[in-house]
Amino acid sequence: MSENSPSRSDRRAALAAFCAADSKICPPERATELLEAIIRPGDRVTIEGDNQKQADLLAAALAQADPARLHGLHMVQSVLALPEHLAVFERGIANRLDFAFAGTQAASWPSWSRPGSSISALSTLISNSMRA
């Protein structure tokens, strides 16, 4: 959580507005709205790998978020495997990344890294090593 962010209980209360009464289940079609309600600019966000259906859904939902509402996110991921993992940077939703493996997605880094982001130097290093 970023500084000055709502407490965990405030975020849980926001979450409840997207679920049926006495339920913890949010309809998948409201996932983007839910993420916009509980994530704040500057938050650290972790999305699991590409082999879990819920991770795919959440990556797609986050990539569709409004950059005016969600921006400056610090993404922590084990792998960059889906186009949506890069879309959050292309759309200005996230600007910092910690990861372990990128695979074929690394080839498109020069198109979305921005000067000043903590990814720009990394993308230059990766793209240069791919040319070697």
Q: pTM, whole model, 2 decimals?
A: 0.70
Among 27-36, 58-67, 86-95, 112-121, the range scoring the smallest mean pLDDT is 112-121
- Note the pLDDT tens digit of each residue in 74-116: 998 877 778 888 899 989 999 988 876 655 555 555 555 555 5
Determine phi and psi for 97, rounding to 5 degrees. Answer: -140, 135
Beta strands in the chain (DSSP E): 44-47, 73-79, 94-101
